Structure 1
């Protein structure tokens, strides 16, 4: 999608499609109003990217109509990363690699996978977790940022 402006301000660069812009705006609003982490923090950025990608790839209607789907997609037991890969492949096949929304979604996914954050190693917890289990936060691991952004986005959606 190219900018419609011809007054010299549009340029020939990548235009941000409205569906991507709306997804990022909504993700930002959900996280800011949830007040779960400091805006501008790495965790906040990971949560915003994760939520924006989830919203964008859901091909949805109004947020009120899709809240349950987003909650399901971001839930702990849902294979979110597999869903993202499948939806990105569908979008690429349908719209092509050069479509600006696809380009932005692919770049966001790349950043979510390649950006590593040091966090408490929740994968080291015994399964199933015992009642009153205390997480040893000194046991840390480097995780792809989506693994932190996903539960943060899920909590923000619950607070919506």
Structure 2
């Protein structure tokens, strides 16, 4: 049994991620401002910031996709994530697995170079995702497959 609709295309999925990235990014910046204001240790602030920001990004996508099948960006673009059964929402574990690359910024816990390495890891993952979406007939990327076969469908 398959979800009703066509697999989400790269452009719609990119716009949805951009919208979600702005939302989570604003919250992340505010969180980091508060952390910097209350701490007098740049090392501790950097560590807490990396962990909190990675958890914020991964948590946002995992929570919304597992409970609603849609983040705010997906909702705006009329996209929905489905679990491997192509009928129900992904489980929390499946949603976390399909978005795990959003937490690669955790590398920022390593002072100075960690943020650069984490950023490069996220960039590499995004490139792999884009290439996979464009080349796979079902528009599934590597992390959809890692999650057991989740899929994003255009529902509107």
Query: TM-score w.r.t. structure 2 length?
Result: 0.31
More helix by percentage: 2
State the structure with more CA Rg. Answer: 1
